[in-house]
């Protein structure tokens, strides 16, 4: 069996004096199912393990085009390349396991993707069995803490796989957060020059005045959007809307009666001024969140980044058949809105549910019967028109939501960072 280590690139700093033989090697396998969430999470995790923990990381990904949207430095023509000290392999067929089969110390299959059979067989032959982790989708439901790190023996090989569950509370894997994220956000918030430069680059103009409410809109297609845009047009104070190029852009174009609403588009109607933004790579998205008073986010990765931004946010969860996503939405609300008074808590829940196509909000319905991915691609449109989100009710509590967002970011940090938690668990298994 080949040696488990791949040659390590020379370190610029070399402060830890690690050699190739002492570094932990890690392979991450990612199949891009839909949108950018799968590879977005894997790319963040890979960079953290490489940069903050000194691991030697290789990512297998089957869709380089989706990956390049988040990582512009990626070369679509290369099957193997190194970006930011992470080796990227184009996983071009199910049984592909690298040009030279090398088994890592830690093997991560992201979101229940299936490892190549030849790779699993080689794992079983390795003298020192690798730590095998199934990185699951994020859920705030109660069962997550019970299933986190639960072992699962392989039916044919002497291998043990552990389920690693991200979560919002203690006893889970936590969520991804880079060590320098808070410092970067604070520096942006304190620098008027940095904010002015960002606005000039993003919109071609200066930041709006203090009376304006700045909102980012990153969303899937949503039948509630027209009614919400109408409410923003009628707002008694200015609304500045920032719309990254994506699946909601067509709805903006139709609303404003223009051919497209992509990068550099700008339209005004009543109190609403909307700007189309270029699709941004991951680090740029954090800055967008920091520049806003309220952020509409979707899926998993942007949901987590909005929480670290310490700003009020509205989450559009990926829809599942039979409304299976709604208990997951309620579970997140139960954590996030826990300390709010009844009136703002109910306003927040009603708005989130209306934005997710559930106009009649009920109390949290409890955990789902079994664990499963939160992003199963089974979107189900509502059977009948649903009441629109009530912007007037929601907006009156924005100062309260801002205070809660700041406190929640501190609470969330208590669960620990996912990359750090994963690295610590792996080390205990490698001893």
Q: Catalytic residue numbers?
A: 38, 300
The angle subtended at Cα 8 by Cα 6 and Cα 9, nearest 5°, is 140
CB atoms within 10 A of CB 404: 22
CB atoms within 10 A of CB 269: 15
As given in the structure block, the two tokens for residue 218 are: 């990153």
Q: Are 41 and 176 in contact (CB under 8 A)?
A: yes
For CA atoms 356, 358, 361, 363, the dihedral sign is negative
As given in the structure block, the two tokens for residue 266 are: 């700008």
As given in the structure block, the two tokens for residue 346 are: 């109910």
Among candidate residues 243, 223, 377, 216, the one with its CA nearest the CA of residue 305 = 216
Q: Return phi, psi of residue 165, to 5°.
A: -105, 115
Residue with tokens 């989708």: 137
Q: Are 389 and 347 in contact (CB under 8 A)?
A: no
Give, to the nearest 10 degrees, the angle between helix 301-308 and helix 37-51: 60
């Amino acid at each position: 069996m080949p040696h488990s280590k791949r040659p390590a690139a020379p370190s610029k700093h070399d402060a830890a004096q690690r050699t190739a033989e002492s570094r932990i090697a890690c392979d991450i396998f990612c199949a891009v199912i839909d949108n950018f969430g799968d590879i977005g999470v894997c790319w963040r995790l890979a960079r953290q393990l490489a940069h903050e923990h000194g691991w030697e990381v290789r990512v297998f990904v089957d869709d380089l085009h989706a990956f390049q949207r988040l990582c512009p430095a990626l070369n679509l023509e290369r099957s193997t390349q190194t970006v930011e000290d992470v080796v990227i392999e184009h996983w071009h067929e199910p049984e592909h396991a690298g040009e030279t089969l090398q088994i890592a110390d830690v093997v991560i299959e992201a979101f229940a993707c299936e490892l190549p059979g030849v790779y699993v067989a080689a794992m079983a032959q390795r003298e020192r069995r690798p730590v095998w982790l199934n990185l699951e989708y994020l859920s705030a439901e109660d069962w997550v803490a019970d299933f986190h790190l639960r072992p699962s023996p392989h039916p044919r090989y002497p291998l043990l796989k552990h389920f690693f569950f991200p979560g919002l509370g203690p006893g889970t894997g936590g969520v991804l957060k880079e060590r320098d994220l808070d410092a970067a956000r604070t520096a942006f918030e304190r620098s008027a020059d940095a904010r002015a430069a960002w606005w000039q680059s993003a919109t071609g103009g200066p930041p709006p005045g203090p009376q304006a409410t700045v909102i980012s809109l990153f969303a899937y297609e949503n039948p509630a959007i027209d009614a919400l845009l109408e409410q923003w047009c009628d707002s008694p104070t200015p609304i500045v809307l920032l719309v990254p190029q994506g699946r909601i852009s067509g709805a903006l174009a139709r609303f404003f009666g223009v051919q497209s609403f992509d990068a550099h588009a700008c339209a005004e109607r009543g109190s609403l001024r909307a700007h189309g933004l270029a699709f941004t790579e991951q680090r740029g998205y954090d800055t967008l969140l920091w520049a806003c008073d309220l952020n509409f986010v979707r899926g998993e990765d942007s949901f987590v980044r909005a929480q670290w931004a310490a700003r009020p946010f509205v989450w559009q969860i990926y829809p599942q058949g039979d409304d299976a996503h709604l208990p997951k939405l309620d579970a997140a609300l139960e954590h996030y809105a826990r300390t709010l008074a009844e009136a703002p808590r109910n306003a927040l829940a009603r708005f989130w549910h209306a934005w997710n196509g559930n106009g009649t909000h009920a109390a949290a319905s409890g955990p789902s019967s079994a664990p499963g991915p939160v992003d199963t691609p089974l979107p189900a449109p509502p059977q009948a028109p649903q009441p629109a989100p009530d912007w007037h009710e929601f907006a009156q509590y924005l100062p309260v939501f801002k205070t809660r967002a700041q406190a929640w970011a501190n609470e969330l940090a208590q669960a620990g960072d996912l990359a750090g938690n994963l690295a610590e668990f792996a080390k205990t298994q490698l001893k």
